[in-house]
Amino acid sequence: MEEAKKPLHVRVAEALGWIALEAPNGMWPDEYFGFHPEFAPIVGRRAQVPDYTKDWSATGPLIEKYGITVSDAWPAFGAWTAALHGTLHMNSGGAIERGPTPLVAVCNLIVALKEAGKL
């Protein structure tokens, strides 16, 4: 599947190291399964990829792990921002991303950091 057409939560999963991702049921294209990088050798079976764009229990630990700051710094534009801690108010060379919700902003940041080789 073309990278831009993959759902955002799938691109986040790939950035985090999930492998062999696929949507086995064509009726539910957002329902992806794959091997989690930490558990695949132990479990040996596919797990459902969490929807990082909607599930705080999946994305919250990533905010803490990577030291991400989330802010509604641009409320006039209806945008949330996510940035590496301490970079929210300075030009950080791509370490700030936006989204219509806090989780989408965080997901955009994780994908951008991976693409920049900073994750």
CA distance 63 to 99: 15
Q: Which of 105, 78, 119 is nearest to 8 (CA)?
A: 105
Task: Enter the tokens of residue 18.
Answer: 């999930």
SS3 83: strand
Mean pLDDT of 83-103: 73
Average pLDDT in the 41-64 region? Answer: 88
Is CATH 2.40.160 correct for 3-115? Answer: no
Query: What's the whole-model pTM score?
Result: 0.83
**Sign (positive/negative) of CA torsion 24, 55, 117, 115?**
positive
- What confidence score (pLDDT) does residue 89 get? 47
d(CA 62, CA 107): 10
Compute the radius of gyration of the chain from its Cα atoms: 15
Domain-wise residue ranges, the chain: 3-115
User: Would you call 96 helix, strand, or coil by DSSP?
Assistant: strand
Task: Report the half-sphere exposure of 46 (CA within 13 A, side-chain side).
Answer: 12
- Output the average pLDDT for the chain: 83
Cα separation, 50 vs 39, whole angstroms: 14
Tell whether the model's pLDDT for residue 6 goes beyond 60. Answer: yes
